[in-house]
Amino acid sequence: MAGCWWLLIHCVLFACSSAHSDLFTSTGQMTDLLFIEKDLVTSLKAYIRVEENKLELIKQWADKLHVLSAAATQDPEGFLGNPVNAFKLMKRLNTEWGELESLVLTDMSDVFISNLTIQRQYFPNDEDQAGAAKALMRLQDTYQLDTNTISTGQLPGQHNHCASLTVDDCYDLGKVAYSEADYYHTGLWMVQALKQLDQGEMSSAVDAVTILDYLSYSVYQQGDLERALQFTKRLLGLDPMHQRANGNLKYFEYQLSKQKKVEERTEGEAEGRQRRETRGQPDDYLPERKTYEQLCRGEGLRMNPRRESHLFCRYYDNNHHPRYVIGPVKQEDEWDRPHIVRYHNIVSDKEMEKVKELAKPRVSQQTVSHIISSCLSSVSAWLGAYEHPVVDQINQRIGDLTGLDVTTAEDLQVANYGVGGQYEPHFDFGRKDEPDAFEELGTGNRIATWLLYMSDVQAGGATVFTDIGVAVWPKKGSAVFWYNLHPSGEGDYRTRHAACPVLVGNKWVSNKWIHERGQEFRRRCGLQETD
Which tens digits make up the pLDDT trace of 191-215? Answer: 999 999 999 999 988 999 999 999 9
Per-domain residue ranges of the chain? 27-121, 126-156+164-257, 299-515
pLDDT at position 380: 84
Question: What are 206-211's contacts with CB under 8 Å, separation 24+?
Answer: 206/167, 206/168, 206/171, 208/235, 208/238, 209/235, 209/238, 209/239, 209/242, 210/171, 211/171, 211/174
Least confident of 63-67, 111-115, 189-193, 256-260: 256-260
Each residue of 103-160: pLDDT tens digit? 999 998 988 999 999 999 888 888 888 888 998 999 999 999 999 999 998 888 777 7
Q: What is the pTM of this model?
A: 0.80
Query: Strand, helix or coil at 341?
Result: strand
Tell which CATH classification among 2.60.420.10, 2.60.40.420, 3.40.50.150, 1.25.40.10 matches the domain 126-156+164-257: 1.25.40.10
Highest averaged pLDDT of the listed ranges 87-91, 119-123, 317-321: 317-321
H/E stretch holding 65 reads helix 27-72
State the first-to-last Cα distance of the chain, in angstroms, to the nearest integer.
32
pLDDT, mean of residues 214-241: 95
Q: Which of 358, 380, 355 is nearest to 367 (CA)?
A: 380
Please name which of 422, 415, 418, 417 lies closest in space to residue 376, comparing C-alpha atoms.
Answer: 422
**DSSP element (H, E) containing 446:** strand 446-453
| Those residues with Cβ within 8 angstroms of residue 55's Cβ, 6 or more apart along the chain or in another chain | none
Would you state the pLDDT for residue 437? 85
Select from 2.60.120.620, 3.60.70.12, 3.40.50.261, 1.10.10.10 the CATH code of 299-515: 2.60.120.620
CA atoms of 427 and 467, how far apart (whole Å) = 11
User: Is the CB of residue 209 less than 8 Å from the CB of residue 240?
Assistant: no
Q: What percent of the chain has pLDDT over 70?
A: 87
Phi-psi region of 28 (alpha: psi -120 to 50; beta: other; left: phi over 0): alpha
pLDDT of residue 271: 53
